[in-house]
Chains A and B, each alone.
Chain A
Amino acid sequence: GAVVSQHPSWVICKSGTSVKIECRSLDFQATTMFWYRQFPKQSLMLMATSNEGSKATYEQGVEKDKFLINHASLTLSTLTVTSAHPEDSSFYICSARDRTESNEKLFFGSGTQLSVL
């Protein structure tokens, strides 16, 4: 099956620093990738939809200037948490669809646990 590689798996950073999370589709091309986050004991929530070659679409309440998304190629999307603060500590996970597949299953990365001190 399709594989989505997400790095890093976990990161600890100081408040005020920026953190970049990468999401790669290893054996397929992904026109669209989705970024989710999950706070402790809460559901996964969609943050934004990343489209290759165009601006990301953010969900209501998600600050686009704080969560920068770049999808410059068909196999790579990045999420940068700028000037991270402790309230940004969360589990971030990406998903992607194989553009050549007729089924509509989404493939997920392994997630990134971000802890901001």
Chain B
Amino acid sequence: KQEVTQIPAALSVPEGENLVLNCSFTDSAIYNLQWFRQDPGKGLTSLLLIQSSQREQTSGRLNASLDKSSGRSTLYIAASQPGDSATYLCAVSPSYGKLTFGQGTILTVHP
């Protein structure tokens, strides 16, 4: 059974810091890996999707890497802003659509 673990569970940083969120998964036979942002009352927003054959994806200040063999992914956020405050979720998929989520990292960026 696939298990996804995210570290740290919570993170509080001052504005402007670069930060790294970690995700690990137990079964390397994945289809893809996604990072989501969850805001209260607003559901989930897909940030980055990495196919199993890819090593990383970038979007603006966000960069996600994937090391499938070791079962790890990191989400790098550059120059953090208060608006980045949210819960960040990592999810892996053994086949299309069936996501297994981690418990998330609660990020707080204070001015």
Contacts and interface: CB of A to CB of B under 8 A. Distances in A.
Given A49-B98, A104-B96, A43 B4 contact: yes
Range, interface on chain B: 20 to 34
A107 to B, nearest CB: 7
Interface in B89-111: 89, 91, 96-104
A59 to B, nearest CB: 8
A97 B36 CA distance: 15
B26 interface: no
A60 to B, nearest CB: 10
A114 B40 CA distance: 15
A104 B98 contact: no
B44 interface: yes
B46 A107 contact: yes
A108 B44 contact: yes
B49 A93 contact: no
Given A104-B49, A104-B96, A105-B49, A43 B43 contact: no
A46 B98 contact: yes
B45 A43 contact: no
Nearest to B36: A108
Nearest to B1: A60
A108 B45 contact: yes
Interface in A86-109: 93, 95, 97, 103-109
A105 B97 contact: no
Interface of A: 4, 6, 9, 32, 34, 36, 41-46, 49, 93, 95, 97, 103-111
18 contacts: A34-B98, A36-B99, A43-B102, A43-B104, A44-B89, A44-B99, A45-B101, A46-B98, A95-B97, A97-B96, A104-B32, A105-B34, A106-B34, A106-B97, A106-B99, A108-B36, A108-B45, A109-B43
